[in-house]
Amino acid sequence: MGNAESSQTLNNRFRSDYCGLLNPAREQSTVRLAGWVHRKRDHGGLIFIDLRDHTGISQLVIQPERHELFAQAEHLHIESVICVEGVVVPRAEGAINPKLASGAIEVVLSSLTVESHAQPLPFPVADEVQTSEELRLKYRFIDLRREKIHENIIFRSRIIAAMRHYLEAQNFIEIQTPILTSSSPEGARDFLVPSRLHPGKFYALPQAPQQFKQLLMVSGFPRYFQIAPCFRDEDARADRSPGEFYQLDMEMAFIEQDDLFAILEGMMQHLTTTMSHKRMTQFPFPRISYKEVMNRFGTDKPDLRIPIEIQDVTDLFKDSDFKVFSNNTIQDFCVKALVLKGRGNESRLFYDKADKRALELSAQFGPAYNGLAYIQFREEGPKGPIVKYVLNELPDLKAKLDLETGDVVFFRAGQWAETCKIMGGMRNYFADLFTLDNDELSFCWIVDFPMFEYNEDAKKIDFSHNPFSMPQGEMEALETVPSLDILAYQYDIVCNGIELSSGAIRNHKPEIMYKAFGIAGYSREEVDTRFGHMIEAFKLGAPPHGGIAPGVDRLVMILRDEQNIREVIAFPMNQQAQDLMMSAPSEVTLTQLRELHLKVELPKKDEGKK
RNA sequence: GGAGUGGUAGCUCAGUUGGUUAGAGCGCCUGCCUGUCACGCAGGAGGUCGCGGGUUCGAGCCCCGUCAGCUCCGCCA
């Protein structure tokens, strides 16, 4: 396990040394150790105990001559907490255990105190056998004893310390912002907290300290950071913890996008080189525009390690007789291709499964979608359901996509964003065909996000990201460029297909803000009502500023090769946002409700339960 | 809200075409064992097969419903 305590062992009545750090240098010394009984091997005439603390394991030996000690040890249960005293001795030649850091020595006990008798555990600590997550979460305090997750939590602490260290050296100031604040009209669903002193009114837990950090810029703190808890009442995913998560929230005044990129790249380089053995594929991180990333990878969080890219073949089908394609060559529509080298001779099942996946990916855009067209380039010629319709285009296609015998190309035609997303989903689906190097960190910046997007449901223009982002070209752009073509100083940092953070250069000019909100359909009065305090602040002397807020949990996840965010959080909730250990959420007493002026009205289908 | 996936002993899992008393490894209990390190050996206890209903002479297995877990979509930066 960890070795942070190496030189500074606390010497008291419980221990003088740590199990994992004990070595031949301490031979013949009398030491005190304290920890958990990891394993016990009772030979009848001799007992071995593997004692575990958070640094590792030491082997204790109990000899039969010490009758009282022996009797005590015989009845010890695994995972009991004991404090022992004994002499460090070298192990015999053949008895050295190379698998143990302390394997060259052992401790012959002279005394043993049981601090806590452990009953049989619901699941083993020493054997890290797969255990249902439900059980692990219910007994999280036991689960956290297990080496892998214990190390994750220690690593998390160290990386947060490294972040602080780095940012403080860069003159950042850490400032705490409120946890009880007000509900914000945009973004995710809020967690609400009823107010006792103000009947009928509610606090909200912050989705992020977004407005506070911008106001701190107005207050004249040029560089702010915080390991900030963020609360969002939205459903969980493997990389999205339910309810709450932590961001390294940052904001800086008098900076431009490039300044921020340099600082964050510097920090990421520092963290990855000092905290892991992983390599950054490219440094500084490549920058890819939103439009380009959608065209090439079909997602705004691409895993650049996957060695295939989506290609555009719209132009080839402008005059095609194949209407399925040629109908999609007009403005805002496209025909996209994805080539798999050497996969043209797979079984029918291979293509059918791919087709099925494409249908799943299409489902989110509506029911009336067909599957995935493909052409296999085989020895005997091109093969596939659509070959006969595109014979005219085949030569150009082969030239443009560099197709050879043995390859297969998949097609998708339709509205631009949808088609890109479906093909991006297929690119991820095919990622399994390649071995991705987990020791490679492929960071990139996604830049030039559109400021606005068209909301089909509401039939109006919406902000596509943070409404407080500065439009590129500022007021002039808002007045002269078609709204949907305006770009924002809005960026994401992505690593290996995981979005670490969004950020933006903010809009600190009230007039530009009113104009931008106007394009999204908000009157001056509405903006004043909803964001009055922000606008007000920006009217009273606001510096240009911008920031970002990398997800701490996600960064730890990537650096520790974890597929699930709950593996790097000490006490996470389950997918249904329940804390199985603490039984949260839970009902409260009528008295508590009355005090808060609340009355619970359950949904009908829940009536009659319990 | 929707889709997928598994739910059998404390834990991890097996369970044949629907057929007698539901099995294994680990753990637990008892006994033996002085050099193990996943110690070994012998014996024992431990089961509402998630829950409810149905089909059947007979259901862990088939059908319907339902509950809880995880993954994905919606949602979320």
Homologous superfamily, domain A306-435: GAD-like domain (3.30.1360.30)
Whether residue A355 is predicted with pLDDT greater than 90 in this model: the reply is no
DSSP annotation string for A303-333: -TTS---EEE-GGGGTT-S-HHHHTT-STTE
pLDDT value, residue A9: 63
Residue A547: pLDDT band with limits 50, 70, 90: very high
Superfamily of domain A19-116: Nucleic acid-binding proteins (2.40.50.140)
User: pLDDT grade, residue A349 (50/70/90)?
Assistant: confident
In this predicted model, what pLDDT tens digit does every residue of A363-401 receive, in sequence order? 777 655 566 889 999 999 999 888 999 999 999 999 999
Round and report the angstrom distance from CA (A97) to C1' (B28). Answer: 29
- Check whether residue A381 has its CB closer than 7 Å to nucleic acid strand B: no
Residues 232-251 of A with CB under 7 A from strand B: 232, 234-240
Q: Give me the pLDDT at residue A8, please.
A: 59
For residue A453, what is the enclosing H or E element? strand A452-455
Q: How far: A269 CA to B56 C1' (Å)?
A: 68
User: How many C-alpha atoms does A28 have within 13 Å on its Cβ side?
Assistant: 0
- Whether the CB of A44 is less than 7 Å away from nucleic strand B comes out as yes
Which residue ranges make up each domain of chain A?
Answer: 19-116, 142-282+543-610, 306-435, 450-487+509-540
Distance between CA atoms of residues A5 and A439, nearest Å: 27
Beta bridge partners, A108, equal A61, A87
What pTM value is reported for the model? 0.91
Q: Give the residues across from A288 on adjacent strands.
A: A446
> Which two structure tokens, joined as six digits, stand for A105?
């020595």
Q: Is the CB of A575 under 7 A from strand B?
A: yes
Instruction: Give me the pLDDT at residue A17, please.
Output: 94
| The pairing of beta strand A545-548 with beta strand A243-253 | antiparallel
Kindly report, residue by residue over A454-496, the tens digit of the pLDDT. 877 777 888 888 888 999 999 999 999 999 999 999 999 999 9
Check if residue A14 sits with its Cβ under 7 angstroms from strand B.
no
Cα gap A293→A299, rounded to integer Å? 7
Complex prediction ipTM: 0.89
> Which DSSP letter does residue A191 get?
P
Please, are residues A579 and A180 in contact by the beta-carbon 8 Å criterion? no
**Sign of the C-alpha dihedral computed for residues A357, A362, A364 and A367 taken in this order:** negative
Arithmetic mean of pLDDT, A591-609: 74
What are the tens digits of pLDDT across the range A82-126? 999 999 999 998 899 999 999 999 999 999 999 999 999 999 999
Q: Is the CB of A64 under 7 A from strand B?
A: yes
Q: Which nucleotides of B are covered by protein (CB under 7 A)?
A: 1, 10-13, 25-29, 32-40, 68-77
| Interatomic distance A360 CA / B50 C1' (Å) | 30
- Smallest CA–C1' separation from A499, nucleotide: B77
CA of A100 to C1' of B8 (A): 37
Say if A19-116 and A142-282+543-610 have the same CATH topology. Answer: no
What CATH number belongs to A142-282+543-610?
Answer: 3.30.930.10
What CA–CA distances, in Å, run from A225 to A171, A174, A446?
10, 5, 22
pLDDT tens figures, A110-119: 999 999 999 9
Question: In whole angstroms, what is the distance from residue A550 CA to residue A493 CA?
Answer: 8
CA–C1' nearest nucleotide, residue A449: B77
In the Cβ-directed half-sphere of A9, how many Cα atoms lie within 13 Å? 21
A91 Cβ nearer than 7 Å to chain B strand:
yes
Place of tokens 């060559």: A329
Distance CA A441, CA A494 (A): 10
Q: How far is CA A226 from CA A6, A134, A222, A532, in A?
A: 29, 32, 14, 25
